Amino acid sequence: MGLEAKLTNDGFLTSTVDAVVSWARKNSVWPMPMGISCCAIEMIAAADPKYDIARFGSEVMRFTPRQCDLMIVAGTVTFKMAQVVRRIYDQMPDPKWVIAMGACTSSGGMYRSYNVVQGIDQFLPVDVYTAGCPPRPENLLNALMTIQEKIGKYKARDFRNRSLEELEYDRN
Amino acid sequence: MDRNAIIYNDDKLLKKLDGDRNITVEDVLENEMVINMGPQHPATHGVLRLVLRIDGETVTGIVPELGYLHRGYEKMAENMSFLEFIPHTDRLDYTATMCNNVGYVLAVEKLAGIAVPKRAQYIRMIVSELSRIAAHLVAIGTFAMDVGAVTMVMWTFREREKIQNIFDRLAGARFTTSYTRIGGVAGDIDDVATAMTKEVLEEIEPAMVDMDKLLLSNRIFIDRLEGIGILPKEDAIALGITGPNLRASGVEYDIRRANPYLYYDEIDFKIPTFPEGDCLARYFQRGDEVRESVKILKQCLDKIPAGEVIADNPKKVLPHKTEIYSKMEELIHDFMLVSSGINPPVGDIYSAVENPKGELGFYIVSNGTGKPWKLKIHSPSFCNLQALSQLCRGAMISDVIAIIGSLDPVMGEADK
Amino acid sequence: MEPRDIIVDKIKSAFGSSLEETSDFRGDLSLTISKDQLVPAATFLKEDRELQFEMCKDVTAIDWATGKKRFTVVYHIYSFKLNFTLRLKVNIDNNPPSIESVTHIWRGADWYERETFDMYGIEFINHPDLRRIYMPQGFEYYPLRKEFPVMGIPGSLPLPKKAE
């Protein structure tokens, strides 16, 4: 990177806090894999040696929501599971983003039936929708790159402390 | 809020957990707790919820809860034609997608009485066995990852990528392929795909040897699995377990031998069994089945005859795509088959194939129209999960993880 | 002798009066017996020395959507000795639908009967733990009955409130 060049030249560099914070934040997005069904296998395939998600900074796929900032909902969400997904989303600390992976999460997919939620945006705010059934791992990496671009545009002061009532915390 | 509490309540489940007390534990700590190993868990192989009652670290009672991935397959099947249901069967056992496709179209062909050309049956055998290798690789990889050896999942997925490249070449999709059609398969297998298959067969045996060397000399792995989750032979039969779990308990039952479908009676292969019935036996069972599948594939590639890949039965089988665009009769047949269906005779059949997880059976009741009156899917993971409550009693919490990994359930088919 | 001949002969000699129908469509043997003879017939099939139907593969039901005899409960059982899968059918009517459970004969029938109860509402008498298995516990309908629409009844399953 040009960082070493700058440092050896003058010995210091100037930047805005926003730029540094968003650079750090977008290159270390830790995903929370909400792997429910078939798309979960393609998500694991995105982490395997061929499609390597680790080179984007998402090395750590922790299954605990407290340490993650991106939730990848991969798989069909049923009504029973929607309560669980919402609860896990509430447990993630701010700032957080959501990728709706695949057709089932975007719109119910090929399942027009009594037990499948026709799109998770009925109860979660979604940032990126990914098409495919299941989406190829390259598609998931593209979604991740789009999220990284989106994170890069935030200013650090957008995430000032908000009180619990403003966040509409669903105490259930 | 009120409606939530009425619909999603756990009272009956906790009552069952309370009544489930026929285990005596030595060294009782008298420190009981009810914990929830929820649907979102890294090691439950999908969305399976377990409510455990533990005394210290020992499990004294367990109640599994399913239904978090119930997508309503059977209801949807009653409203769509036989051909439209083929992509849905892909997503049943989503680690071995070709095997499900083959099982479903075999059931429909049995019901409607359609004869399939020999080359198509051989192609179906080839893709079934490749799927079996892919599914066992996922099973071994995620099982080892759950127990602690995280490198295994990377290695097995690397091998699996080669198989998925072959599927990509044949069917156009890596994963959910929908490759088979009623009366044959969608497209022919060409020289490039055959060469890729031969390459995979050469590379998989050394890879399996590498993986074995990684795991089996590890004292911790062996200690964690040996003697855990022993399933005796009579219990396995009484509970209806099928597949590698049954064969690892000593029963030599494989549908490819007992009731041969496709052309498995012309192929020479062994059926591995292990008498112990513990988690380590189930692990070895899957490894041995991969080696047997390699043998079957080599023989299939040698014996495959030339010929058509789809049957020539205009009233029941879709014609070739090239002919639909140029000839009138084929266009009419295609239109009738897609709009009103294949119209099999009135009756019901049950047809089963040997999936990597067990026996996948379809029970189809037809009333003479293009849509089935009823379609029941006998999924192996649903049956195999019945053994969970017996195997986990008296075990520690970390043994529960090892047992689930060795039973290898896939919730897409357990919940249908 | 063929396995199917052995089975049909034995069942006819032991339960001739309650055997309503035998059918042999596409090579599958299926026997229809009457509701009150189900448990004796099932016990006979399991314990007879020559038959030994030890494994229960499936229990399900069919909804014919007619007035009388609305449901048919279907059992698939397998014998290792004869290497044969047999289908048993029992016709029951809808006021309200109930049948004896075979869990004490084949332990594997436990979850299949729960699934049939969940989807069709057929009550299995003497089942050790008859709860819903797929749908949530408080769900009021039976999804696979023919009058239940594919898209479900709106409002029957609540969703969490929309976030943010």
**What letter does residue B55 receive in the DSSP assignment?**
E
Instruction: Kindly report the number of other CB atoms within 10 A of residue B87's CB atom.
Output: 15
Over residues B354-364, mean pLDDT: 92
- pLDDT value of position C163: 64
Cβ <8 Å between C152 and A86: no
Cβ <8 Å between B239 and C83: no
Higher pLDDT, A6 or B9: B9
Would an 8 Å CB–CB cutoff place A35 in contact with chain B?
A: yes
Give residue-wise pLDDT tens across range A6-61: 677 777 778 888 888 888 888 888 998 888 888 888 888 888 888 888 898 888 78
- Give dist(CA B330, CA B62) in Å, integer: 58
| Amino acid symbol at A85 | V
Would an 8 Å CB–CB cutoff place C164 in contact with chain A?
A: yes
Look-up: residue for tokens 């008859």?
Answer: C130
Over residues C15-37, mean pLDDT: 82
B376 pLDDT above the threshold of 90: yes
Tokens of C38: 């189900």
Residue A92 lies in a domain: yes
pTM of the model: 0.91
Give residue-wise pLDDT tens across range B230-245: 889 988 899 989 999 9
Q: How far apart are the first and last CA of chain A?
A: 48
Over residues C50-79, mean pLDDT: 89
- pLDDT value of position A168: 54
Cβ <8 Å between C131 and B12: yes
- pLDDT value of position C29: 86
C87 vs B contacts (CB less than 8 Å):
348, 350
Say what the ipTM of the complex is.
0.93
> Nearest CA of chain A to the CA of C116: how many Å?
17
- pLDDT value of position C6: 82
DSSP-assigned beta bridge partners for residue A18: none
List CB contacts of C109: < 8 A, sequence separation 6 or more.
Answer: B240, C56, C59, C75, C101, C102, C103
Residue of B44, B47, B131 to mutate, interface with A, max A Cβ within 10 Å: B47
Give residue-wise pLDDT tens across range B170-188: 888 888 888 898 888 888 8
- Give dist(CA A34, CA A41) in Å, integer: 11
**What φ, ψ does residue A69 adopt, rounded to 5°?**
-125, 0
- pLDDT value of position B361: 92
Residue C25: strand, helix, or coil = strand
Q: Which domains does chain C have, with CATH numbers?
A: 3-125 (3.30.460.80)
> Nearest CA of chain A to the CA of C90: how many Å?
29
Give me the percent of chain B exceeding a pLDDT of 90: 27
- B290 touches B209 (CB < 8 A): no
- pLDDT value of position A162: 53
Residue A97 lies in a domain: yes
Higher pLDDT, B214 or A163: B214
- pLDDT value of position B126: 92
- pLDDT value of position B102: 93
Q: Chains near C, with 3+ CB pairs < 8 A?
A: A, B
User: What does R_g of chain B's alpha carbons equal in angstroms?
Assistant: 23
Candidates B28, B73, B157; CA nearest to B364 is B73
Q: How confident is the model at residue B25 (pLDDT cuts 50, 70, 90)?
A: low
- pLDDT value of position B188: 87
Instruction: State the span(s) of chain B assigned CATH 1.10.645.10.
Output: 73-113+116-310+344-414
Higher pLDDT, C49 or B27: C49
Higher pLDDT, B41 or B22: B41
> Nearest CA of chain C to the CA of B374: how many Å?
7
- pLDDT value of position A1: 58
Higher pLDDT, A63 or C101: C101
Over residues C144-158, mean pLDDT: 87
Give residue-wise pLDDT tens across range B255-297: 998 888 888 988 888 899 998 888 999 999 999 999 999 999 9
| Amino acid symbol at C156 | S
Over residues B86-102, mean pLDDT: 90
**What φ, ψ does residue C17 adopt, rounded to 5°?**
-70, -30
- pLDDT value of position A146: 92
Give me the percent of chain C exceeding a pLDDT of 90: 21
Cβ <8 Å between C28 and B237: no
- pLDDT value of position B27: 64
CATH code of the domain covering residue A129: 3.40.50.12280
Give residue-wise pLDDT tens across range C5-16: 888 888 888 877
- pLDDT value of position A57: 86
- pLDDT value of position C69: 86
- Give dist(CA B96, CA C136) in Å, integer: 29
Q: How many interface pairs between A and C have CB atoms less than 8 angstroms apart?
A: 53
Give residue-wise pLDDT tens across range A99-156: 999 998 999 888 989 989 998 888 988 999 999 888 999 999 999 999 999 888 877 6
How many domains is chain A partitioned into structurally? 1
Q: How confident is the model at residue B10 (pLDDT cuts 50, 70, 90)?
A: confident
Residue A10 lies in a domain: no
| Amino acid symbol at C22 | T
A45 vs B contacts (CB less than 8 Å):
157, 160-161, 164
Question: Nearest Cβ partner of B238 from C107, C119, C156?
Answer: C107
DSSP-assigned beta bridge partners for residue C61: C73
- Exposure string of C128-161, with b = 16+ CB inside 10 Å and e = fewer, is ebbebbbbbbbbeebbbbeebeeebeeebbbbbe
| Amino acid symbol at A148 | Q
- pLDDT value of position B380: 92
Angle of CA points B349, B352, B356, to nearest 5°: 160
List CB contacts of B95: < 8 A, sequence separation 6 or more.
Answer: A41, B134, B135, B138, B139, B356, B410
- pLDDT value of position B295: 92
B362 pLDDT above the threshold of 90: yes
B30 pLDDT above the threshold of 80: no
Range of the domain at A59: 30-155
DSSP-assigned beta bridge partners for residue C33: C19, C90
- pLDDT value of position B56: 82
Q: What is the CATH number of domain B73-113+116-310+344-414?
A: 1.10.645.10
A165 pLDDT above the threshold of 70: no
B326 pLDDT above the threshold of 80: yes
Phi-psi region of B184 (alpha: psi -120 to 50; beta: other; left: phi over 0): left
Over residues A92-97, mean pLDDT: 86
- pLDDT value of position A64: 86
Question: Nearest Cβ partner of A41 from B71, B95, B158?
Answer: B95
Average pLDDT, chain C: 86
Average pLDDT, chain A: 84
